[in-house]
Amino acid sequence: MRIENAGPVADESDEDRRRHYRRVRRFGFLDHAAAPACRAERADIGCEPSGEPPMSASLSRYLKDFSAPKIELTRMTPKYFPDLEADFPAADRSPQRPTMPEIDVEAERREAFVQGRAEAAAELTLEHQRELAELKARHAEELDAVKHRLAEETASKLAAGFAEITERLALALGDQTARVLAPVMEEALIKRAVEDLATMIRQGIGAGEGLTITVKGSPVLFEALKQHMDDDMLAFRHVATDDIDLTVEMGEAVLVTRMAAWSETVRKVLA
């Protein structure tokens, strides 16, 4: 079969025409009558011959034409496989793709907003519960620390208070005891002092001292002293005074009790 070159196709693009002329330039023109027109068109699109000698017509007839075939679309049948389509009725054919439903964008936005709000609320609730649990744990620790510190301070203050109360109680009991025992002790001391004074007077009389005895002091103590003296021959001269002590003068000897000093000591202790 002989393939003749009919020149460039009118419907081809510039790139197809360049590719066609490159092939023709390489293998030679099949139709020498169309060569001038081809050269002119080749010059218009910027393709220059390479300078190589054209291929002979006898050899080029055996080469395949690589140019794009021209297809008449008006001659194409609307159905590529009429026999196959005739075998299947229209009822058995697969239905057309169903129409997609319309999407309400505002409804989708509202639904997404509500869903996001619910998820955010749940997340915030969990976060709040976690922070609240941590706060309660920290508060419990601080409360235990405060309780421990207050317990130690209370124990220390109670110990100091007990010591102070014990000391005050001891002083108060001692004071009250001294006040209660003071009259008894004073009476016993007076009795003992009078007895000792009588003994000393008897010893002085036995030593040959004068028989006139001068006694200075309270009448009560003077009478108590006379009761301890059995000798009726003794002459007593009493000089009444407000002093708590008894003073006995026998010649040059002077005997004095120390009850006033003891009373002063007791008064200082009770004060």
Give the pLDDT confidence of 144-163 residue by residue, as tens digits. 999 999 999 998 888 888 88
Rg, C-alpha atoms of the chain: 76
Give the pLDDT confidence of 56-79 residue by residue, as tens digits. 556 666 666 666 666 665 555 555
Number of H helices, E strands in the chain: 7, 4
pLDDT of residue 187: 72
The residue ranges of every structural domain in the chain are 14-87, 177-270
pLDDT of residue 164: 87
Q: What is the CATH number of domain 177-270?
A: 3.30.2320
Give the pLDDT confidence of 11-62 residue by residue, as tens digits. 456 777 777 667 666 555 444 445 555 555 554 444 444 455 555 556 666 6
SS3 helix, strand, coil % of the chain, rounded to 5?
60, 5, 30
- Rounded CA-CA distance 21/42 in Å is 7
Average pLDDT of the chain to the nearest whole number: 71
Give the pLDDT confidence of 232-259 residue by residue, as tens digits. 556 677 778 877 777 877 767 777 777 7
Mean pLDDT over residues 217-235, rounded?
72
Q: Which of 2-11, 121-130, 208-217, 243-252 holds the top average pLDDT?
A: 121-130
Q: How many CB atoms lie within 10 A of CB 101?
A: 6
Q: Has this prediction a pTM greater than 0.85?
A: no
Helix (H, G, I), strand (E, B) or coil at 69: coil
The percent of residues in the chain predicted with pLDDT above 90, rounded, is 17
Please tell me which residue, 9 or 98, carries the higher pLDDT value: 98
Question: Which residues have a Cβ under 8 Å from the Cβ of 44 and sit 6 or more positions away?
Answer: none
